[in-house]
Amino acid sequence: MRDQDTPGDLLDHVSQCLALHGSPDFVPACLDLIDALGADQVMIFSYEADRAACLMARNFRQVRTGRRLAADYLDGWFRQDPLFLRALQQVAGQVDVLRIDPQDSPMGADYRARFFDDPGLGGKLSILAAGANLRLVINLYRSGIENWTPPAAILPILGRLALLHFERRRAGGVPDALMALSARERAVCLGMLDGKKAEVIADDLGVAPTSVVTYRRRAYDKLGISSRGELFAICRT
């Protein structure tokens, strides 16, 4: 695992994100910034009064951090996350950065066991950002998080960049979470969401069915998921 980038490099990433916010190219630029901070995985959720949606998911290090948990979280467990109510109570323009230690958090025992103890997660960095229309939480995971200290000034900027983008973007028929993938990986996932079998997707793309399996595996690894059901879960809007 490499160290985080220098402050100058991080500012270059921030500049790229500012230039691209609202466009499809923002997501790769934002992922480059988060990768440069040294995160193993990122998941961005938006909250409304009684629902959550996944806006971005990417596993950088292939360490399966938090794998198989996104679907459970979106299927109702988010209501037990203390960050859910805290995000809904934020006022527009507010950005909070929190280091979550599950042992010191007011979360319930069942929630702690399912989302921290069982998968072996010692904690996370969370950025809560409130805009005019959105309430976001950006969860950053890293193995050995207790020794991870990314530049404090960059984290609230990351929250504001995400708000700028997701409040400005125009829906284009592609679930936000899939924008973290390559074009072929995204096409395979969209085919699966349409209920197509691998052979049909392969014919649509002009590739062999074995290539579809490869693209699917790469997509699952990047998204930190392991099944079609989880794909449907993180692509719900």
The predicted-structure confidence for 113-130, as pLDDT tens digits, reads as follows 988 888 778 889 999 999
Q: In terms of pLDDT, which residue wins out, 127 or 6?
A: 127
pLDDT of 171 reads: 53
Whether the predicted pLDDT of 7 surpasses 90: no
pLDDT band at 172 (very low <50, low <70, confident <90, very high): low
Whether the predicted pLDDT of 202 surpasses 70: yes
Cα-based distances in Å from 231 to 57, 71, 141, 177, 220:
11, 8, 20, 9, 8
Q: Average pLDDT, stretch 189-199?
A: 94
Q: Average pLDDT, stretch 191-201?
A: 94
Q: In terms of pLDDT, which residue wins out, 215 or 72?
A: 215
Task: In whole angstroms, give the CA distance from residue 14 to residue 93.
Answer: 19
Whether the predicted pLDDT of 173 surpasses 80: no
Q: Could you tell me if 13 and 29 are in contact, meaning their C-beta atoms sit under 8 angstroms apart? A: yes
The predicted-structure confidence for 53-106, as pLDDT tens digits, reads as follows 999 888 887 555 555 677 888 889 999 999 999 999 999 999 999 999 988 889
One-letter amino acid for residue 59 of the chain: N
pLDDT of 147 reads: 85
Which residue segments constitute the domains of the chain, with CATH numbers given?
7-168 (3.30.450.80), 177-234 (1.10.10.10)
Whether the predicted pLDDT of 186 surpasses 90: yes
pLDDT of 1 reads: 39
Tokens of 128: 């809560």
Query: Residue 88 burial (CB < 10 Å; 0-12/13-18/19+)?
Result: middle
- The 3-state secondary structure of 128-180 reads EEECCCCEEEEEEECCCHHHCCCCCCHHHHHHHHHHHHHHHCCCCCCCHHHHH
Strand ranges of the sheet holding 41-48, from the earlier edge strand across to the other edge: 51-59, 41-48, 135-141, 124-130, 95-100
pLDDT of 87 reads: 97
Per cent of the chain over pLDDT 90 is 59
Q: Could you tell me if 235 and 193 are in contact, meaning their C-beta atoms sit under 8 angstroms apart? A: yes
Which range is least confidently modeled, 18-22, 66-70, 145-149?
Answer: 66-70
Q: What's the whole-number average pLDDT of the chain?
A: 89
H helices within the chain, ranges in order?
Answer: 7-20, 26-37, 70-74, 82-88, 109-112, 154-168, 183-193, 198-205, 209-223, 228-234
